Structure 1
Amino acid sequence: MKFSELLEICKNTELELSEIILAQEMIETGRDPEKVKEYLKRLLEVMIEEAEKNFGKRFETLTELTGDNAYKLANVRPKMMSEFNYVATIVALSMGESNASMGRIVACPTAGSCGVVPGAAYALWKVEKADFNDLLKAFIVASGIGNVVAKRATLSGAAGGCQAEIGTATAMASGLLTYYYSKDPVKVGYAAALALKALMGLVCDPVGGFVEVPCVKRNGNAVNVAIASSEMALAGIESVIPFDEVVEAMYQVGKALPESLRETGIGGIAGTKSAQEIVEKIRNKWNS
């Protein structure tokens, strides 16, 4: 299913985009839309629960390369960020660090990108006092965006670089925000396209192969890309290239990336002198 086909159904029916996405899931998989909705509701509940529990906490992670980033940000007064961005960023970092410490997360769409959508959703919940049912509809739309990428490209960093993971999560979060505020499926598509284009070509280069550096802080950065992309779409800024074509371009770029830049821990920042020294220290520590 292409996103453009979902838009066409929206034009020809009086159904909301969230309802169309659930119906399409039934057509493709045979799954009961109500059961799918209940499942997504549970995922959203877990996101909010974990964001509340872990907001700005310190974490003990496997390599100790991360663990106090959310804590540091939560204990300063932001100089430039709005309250919305600030809360979203802290949650994005907290979820990434929770994942690195083997905590409970929702892989959305992957574990390495688990902070972006929760950051956006929790900021709506906490700052905007969002109605849960409205938030759920927006989350269903986000899941539909992720499903389009999964079906037409890839969500795997090993296959397509971090653009497939963080990039998709950012498109999903931007679509979620845009649908919550506008209920406009066309603007949702623009927001998702703007977000994914902003991260086109992003490589997957975890230091030592661990989902800690640069993954955690990328979540914090990416949720702000999602917010900015949504603001632009809500203001009437359009993506010249349709979302479906952006997804296809992302897939082609991912296939063109050398193996060293696709989750192998070889290239990018993982191949820097400092990264190699860090990995050697970790190896010596574990062997001692």
Structure 2
Amino acid sequence: MNISSGSELIGACEKQGITIGEFAIRQESEETGISYEEIWNRMKEALKVMESSTSKGVSEKVISVSGLIGGDAYKMGKYLKEGRSVGGSVTTRAMAYALACSEVNASMGKIVACPTAGACGILPAAVMTMKEEHGIGEKDIILGLFAAGAVGAVIAQNATISGAEGGCQAECGSAAAMAACAIVQMMGGTPGMCLDAGAIVFKNTLGLVCDPIAGLVEVPCAKRNAQGVLSAIGAADMVLAGVESRIPFDDTVEAMYSIGRAMPESLRETGIGGLAGTAAGKILAKRIFGEK
């Protein structure tokens, strides 16, 4: 993508009078020579995978290969139907779908890495919740996914989306920022508002470490996906209400990257520190891999 920053992305969209999603498709077509229609259809196929991975874990108990996680999305789905949710149907549905994708991923099912497999539940949960709770149509969902992709590309160019390099703030944080941008666009927000939502997400996920139990993308990853989509929804609501981020999106990305570089190796996907280094974490790891 010939855009190197969030501010450039906003400027290009405002100059052309188009959304981030529309800009992303045009740029992709221009750079690759692939037709607009073909690019659209590829994202449509990705959306089908998202729909499948979010629904599977909610409708049936999906257990990971290791046995560390599984069945939580199914529990959330039942809880949603009972109508007793403290946070309402939007938050409960979003968490259920995020958990579902994570469980499908850990059971070797098919998911969309957006931007990574470890953070695969956040964006799908956001768009499917928008579809079911707010009646957002397929066209706007697909455009929202392209907006998320454009923002993810900016993050990847200027920082990292790798937990091994920047901690979970780079994975679940980036995914939540992408999801927030998609939600704001789907709800009629401007490109500037989209990136304000992404900035707010990053401000609340800075410093989040990557500390997977036994080095597997399961615990605490699945539940961080569930909380990540809530962060996206909250940030979207704030900017749609007129709240602005005092710190620009590009600055929050820079901060995330600098914090990631400062993190010790034990807190960057090695399965050594943080929760992985606790007594319970070590016991779970031994249960999976045996005594060392």
TM-score (norm 2): 0.93
1:142 maps to 148
1:13 maps to 16
1:132 maps to 138
Q: 1:30 to 1:258 in 2, by over 3 A?
A: farther
1:169 maps to 175
| 1:33 shift after superposition | 4.0
Using the alignment, how far apart are the partners of 2:119 and 2:140 within structure 1? 23
1:186 maps to 192
Which of 57, 79, 82 is the aligned partner of 2:88? 82
Contact 1:56 1:73 in 2 (8 A): no
Between stretches 180-189 and 210-219, larger displacement belongs to 180-189
| 1:146 shift after superposition | 0.8
Contact 1:56 1:72 in 2 (8 A): no
Aligned length in residues: 286
The aligned runs of 1:42-191 (5 Å cut-off) are: 42-76=45-79, 77=82, 78-191=84-197
Contact 1:178 1:188 in 2 (8 A): yes
What is the Cα-based RMSD across aligned positions, in Å? 1.7
Between stretches 122-131 and 220-229, larger displacement belongs to 122-131
Contact 2:57 2:73 in 1 (8 A): no
Using the alignment, how far apart are the partners of 1:173 and 1:6 within structure 2? 17
Between stretches 207-216 and 38-47, larger displacement belongs to 38-47
In percent, how many aligned pairs have the same letter? 41
Contact 1:56 1:94 in 2 (8 A): no
Between stretches 258-267 and 127-136, larger displacement belongs to 127-136
Residue by residue, what CA displacement relative to the aligned partner does 1:195-250 show, whole Å, maximum 9, x if unpaired? 12111111000001011100011111111111001000101111111111111111
Structure 1 stretches of 4+ with a deviation exceeding 6 A read none
Residue by residue, what CA displacement relative to the aligned partner does 1:30-56 show, whole Å, maximum 9, x if unpaired? 554443322222111221133233325
Contact 2:55 2:100 in 1 (8 A): no
TM-score (norm 1): 0.94
Q: 1:64 to 1:169 in 2, by over 3 A?
A: same
1:228 maps to 234
Contact 2:102 2:118 in 1 (8 A): yes
Q: Gapped runs of 5+ residues in structure 1?
A: none
Using the alignment, how far apart are the partners of 1:56 and 1:227 within structure 2? 23
Query: Which amino acid is the alignment partner of residue 182 of structure 2?
Result: L
Contact 2:189 2:240 in 1 (8 A): no
Secondary structure in 1 matching 2:285: helix
